[in-house]
Structure 1
Amino acid sequence: MTEINSLGAQTAISAQAIKAGMTGELLRLTQAQPGLLAPGETAQAEVVSLRQLGREFQVVLRLIQANGAQTQLQASASQPLPPGSQVTVSQTEGNRLAIMLQQASASNIATLTRLDTAKVPVGTLLQGKVLTNQPILQAPGQAAGYRALVSLLNSAQAGATLTIDSPRPLPVGSLLSARVQGDQSLQFVPLSGRQDQLSIAQQLLTQQNRQASLTGLLSALQRVARDPGADGSLRSSAERLLAGLPDVRQLGDAKAVAQALSNSGTFLEAKLLGGFPASVATDLKAHLLRLITQASVTAPGAPALMPSTLALTLPALARGALGMLDRVSPKPQPGAFPLPSRLLKAMEDEGDLQQLLRLAAAAVSRLQSHAMSSLQQSGNLENGNLQTTWQTEVPIRHGQEFIPLQVKLQREETPQQQADRQHQEHDPLQALWRIELAFDLAPLGPLQVQAQLSQGRLNGQLWAEQEQTARLIDSQLGTLRERLLARGLDVGDLECHPGTPPQGPRTRVEQRWVDENA
């Protein structure tokens, strides 16, 4: 919720600005206008437009002379003068125009500090353009604030200028879309954020149709690693990828879990941007990209790819490698968790290397689907809290098998908790944390876990698709509670249900503040 500045209209221009205006210091003509007015003659002018350039403001004035003639002048100002402001122009002895703000008209400046809900009822979607943005002087220790002038572009009050105080700066020239909540409160709806969400949703529809489960690829890599006749570099890549996957027994250690999530491929781009080459060497997605490079070079008739060009050619390569994959199976719901299990059928006219290439490309697409789902579910919620989502998939070694473990972590913070975190004064456990897990473990079958940690209190629910598995887990919940209590957690509800979690409407995620330049 954003409140409109509650200062009275007569204070929209400061006393310092009025004093400067009476001495001719507030406005300066961009160009001299000799002979426009007779010596000693005065005329009235109105501010037609306002534009901020750094710390100064450029205004266009409409000058109305005694004979009715109108002239437009350009001037620079040290303070913002909203469109509609009245100024007095006089001719000085130096053959230059002196411009002074009319003190008597300062209270008539067309700046709104309160909305008329009779003209713009609650629920109206307002659109405006940011004219100016200035920091507000605050007492020591107070949070920073900014004051902006926004020109309304629609509704019954189109053309009026709105004065808004906000905790964040609004880029000059940006377009705003806000829903009226009251005479002094607005809820800003993002333009760029909504476009980004739409773009992500469209990409997910395509991406998820190209992805496939990691199980098929891992089985193929095991065959390559055991095949003495396989290409040496390809076999070495397969062995390194499989050796880097965590064992299920290692996940009892918190550091091992963190390392497994870090190497899952979700953070590869962040590692590259941050300049961490050592961590890239063990990243799952990096392994897959190297594997695609080698398979594309080795496969008969496949185009040779150099590592430097792989990033540019991968999308086209993936599309070619996946072939008719887009035409099979129904489209999954974007942003759904977990991603559905999906295996590729071998094509009759392709060899083992072409099939391996298709599987690797499909695995990269699956990891990208998780990453885009994370973006889709991150942003400001309707209540003003910030939700951040990390969704990924980690193949876990279980004996001679590999079990893909899908993970979704969410952190929800209030505005105060966000501010405390930025100042490194917050306790991570004060935020609301959610975790979801999904995996298929023989002979228990598909399992899903949903847990929530808030203020140190843990609540959890489990779902098992096999009814006998649900009964088995339910009989062990007492033991699980004891172990969690021994870890120092305050445990609330723990339940297990047969079937799968209900899939209701997804929460709409929006950002309140728009950061889009026109």
Structure 2
Amino acid sequence: MTGEINNLGAQIPAAPQLRSAMTGELLRLLQPQQALLAPGETAKAEVLALRQVGQDFQMLLKLTQDNGKQTNVQASSNQPLAQGSQLAVSQSSSSNLTISVQQAIASNVASLTRIDTREMPVGTLLQGKVLTSQTLPQVVGQLAQFRSLVSLLSGPQAGATLTIDSPRPLPVGSLLSARVQGDQSLTFVPLSGRQEQLAITQHLSTQQSRQASLQGLLSALQQVRDDNSSSSELRATVDKLLASLPDVRQLSDAKGVAQALSNSGVFLEAKLVAGLPANLAPDLKAQVVRLVAQLLPGLPGNAQFNPSAAASTLAQVMPGMVRNALGMLGQVSPRPQPGGFPLPSRLLQSQDGEGDLEHLLRLAAAAISRLQSHQLASLEQTGTTADGNLQTTWQLEIPLRSGQDFLPLQVKLQREETPEQQADPERERRDPLEMLWRVELSFDLHPLGPLQVQAQVSQGALSSQLWAELPSTAQLIEGQLGNLRERLLARGLNVTELHCHHGTPPQGTGTRLEQRWVDETA
């Protein structure tokens, strides 16, 4: 389960509604059967198993006729019926069963809508598996609600099915833990930090194998923009995306840097959760997702795809064809080490028999994966350090416009707070520079070659190391460090260390960024 589900709200007793609503409901037989029941005959049916397939609910039913004959049949319905539910059905056609006389035996429905606190006192920890998830009719002015059937795996009522309403959907097949708050209320208990980190690492390893550098997509988009054979709508989308990318001058002041970080795509989901509009034009990830939605209808065999509906959610703009493209990317090269910074450069070549549109779609899908890799790396490196401090990480990538070229700038920001700083009631009003900050930059600037920067700021003191892969660039930068030191001092920073090295930063647990380059207490 994800940590998004913070509270499982109070339940409304559903049994009376179920009796009336389900009477006359049709169950569609997966395999039509003639004369399963005689005309006018009613048989008892028990739900032996339940699973959700898309928006439908498939059930295995055991029919027991008056003469004692029993038959197992598979049926589907628009409404879920919990395992163990007792029904009375008649056959209306060879393809359907009609639920009848539901009122007489509805008391045997196995789905719990309340918790017996005598058997499960307040504070009891329950574990369950989500069987179904459906959206409830939304009331004007109220938040959306989702109803799920959860099979209890522990406690005195293990094996029973619990009906849960929650403000967010529970993924079908997921496991959850919840603590009893009352007879109609549960509170979700998140997974342990170790389990969450393990899940993030696993996702990151998979996602990084699918990603490719942003340069490939941006170069392809420039060709689309200059190709008069492309549709005017596609060229307009491409123009808007390329024009929204910042240039080096924009990063010369704090406001421009903040705007570039905000539009990098790493905060897209947070913006959507906060209620901001889905058409976040400057956001890089949102624009690439819209590009995917616009490309898909033009692919062979995908004529029924609706781009206007797909733009509403990220899931809808990543259908099977894009997932297949991402899967193909995972077979191209071995997976890199999760959590590494910077992400390695990786370009995709057009495959044999692949059209321009398919290749452009693969590039867009790989770009989305790269942005998601940065997001997962941020989560992986966020948490409590061995010293008990809270470390928060933001890792992202900003493609900078430089003439007709693009310079991908990879950025990693880390903030570290001591327990005392976290508990300080004046925390929000204090100078942010009182906390420990780390900054890492990686970029390849022609003709200087690949460069990496690591800097640490704490209590107004700055220490920094620079690495250049070209010897001539390392020598050039070393000769300019005095000027850089003066400019930093003029900004009010106390520069304690400033060096440039030839090569790349050392890797490994012994040289992790968490270690201080300068120990001010020494």
Task: Please report the TM-score for the alignment, with normalisation by the length of structure 1.
Answer: 0.60
Deviations 1:402-436 (A, max 9, x none): 01100000000001111226753432111000000
- What is aligned with 2:246? 246
Q: Which amino acid is the alignment partner of residue 384 of structure 1?
A: G
- What is aligned with 1:53? 122
1:319 deviates by 2.5
Aligned mate of 1:448, from 447, 452, 459: 452
- Structure 2 CA distance for partners of 1:434 and 1:508, relative to 1, 3 Å: closer
- Structure 2 CA distance for partners of 1:210 and 1:315, relative to 1, 3 Å: farther
Deviations 1:53-77 (A, max 9, x none): 38x9xxxxxxxxxxxxxxxxxxxxx
1:249 deviates by 1.3
- What is aligned with 1:407? 411
Structure 2: how far apart are the matches of 1:322 and 1:50?
48
Structure 2: how far apart are the matches of 1:211 and 1:52?
48
Q: Which amino acid is the alignment partner of residue 346 of structure 1?
A: S
1:265 deviates by 0.3
Contact 1:272 1:280 in 2 (8 A): no
- What is aligned with 2:307? 306
- What is aligned with 2:338? 334
Contact 1:437 1:450 in 2 (8 A): yes
Q: Which amino acid is the alignment partner of residue 382 of structure 2?
A: S
Aligned mate of 2:371, from 367, 379, 382: 367
- What is aligned with 1:203? 203
Contact 2:410 2:441 in 1 (8 A): yes
1:191 deviates by 5.8
Unaligned runs of 5+ in 1: 1-48, 57-170, 175-189, 510-518
Q: Report 1 or 2 for greater relative contact order, CA contacts < 8 Å, sequence distance ≥ 6.
A: 1
Q: Which amino acid is the alignment partner of residue 234 of structure 1?
A: L
- What is aligned with 2:441? 437
Structure 2: how far apart are the matches of 1:491 and 1:448?
19
Aligned mate of 1:321, from 311, 321, 325: 325
Q: Is the partner of 1:424 in helix, strand or coil?
A: helix
Number of equivalenced pairs: 331
Contact 1:420 1:426 in 2 (8 A): no
Contact 2:293 2:310 in 1 (8 A): no
Q: Is the partner of 1:295 in helix, strand or coil?
A: helix
Residue 383 in structure 1 maps to residue 384 in structure 2 = no
- What is aligned with 2:264? 264
Contact 2:294 2:307 in 1 (8 A): no
Contact 1:296 1:305 in 2 (8 A): no
Contact 2:272 2:278 in 1 (8 A): no
- What is aligned with 2:494? 490
1:327 deviates by 1.7
User: Root-mean-square deviation (CA), in Å?
Assistant: 2.6
Q: Which amino acid is the alignment partner of residue 374 of structure 1?
A: S
Contact 1:439 1:447 in 2 (8 A): yes
Unaligned runs of 5+ in 2: 1-117, 125-177, 182-189, 515-522
Contact 1:404 1:439 in 2 (8 A): yes
- Structure 2 CA distance for partners of 1:490 and 1:329, relative to 1, 3 Å: same
Q: Which amino acid is the alignment partner of residue 193 of structure 2?
A: G
- What is aligned with 1:224? 224
- What is aligned with 1:477? 481
Structure 1: how far apart are the matches of 2:288 and 2:426?
36
Q: Is the partner of 2:192 in helix, strand or coil?
A: helix
1:312 deviates by 2.6
1:235 deviates by 0.7
Structure 2: how far apart are the matches of 1:423 and 1:259?
24
Structure 2: how far apart are the matches of 1:445 and 1:348?
32
Contact 1:386 1:415 in 2 (8 A): yes
